[in-house]
Amino acid sequence: MYLAMVEELLFWGGLTVFLVSLAMYAGRTKDFKSVLMFWQPTAEFNVVEFKVNRVGLTMMVIAVGLRLFAYVMS
């Protein structure tokens, strides 16, 4: 039960942190096209935006790992 709560918190928290990093980039550069076309590597984050972005992605990956772990254990 606690594992499911942690997984949900990590996923939605990670998604929020990831979106905040994109908003920081868009606010700084006004380059909304790079944010919308995320599959093209045109966005050049500064150090803080990059770290925030990676923290958000890492949180989401850990949440997916916890979901898989819970699925295998049940």
Give pTM, 2 decimals.
0.83
21 Cβ partners below 8 Å, 6+ apart? 45, 49, 50, 52, 53, 56
Contact criterion met (CB below 8 Å) for 60 and 14: yes
- Tens of pLDDT, residue by residue over 20-48, are 999 999 999 898 888 888 777 788 889 99
pLDDT value, residue 2: 82
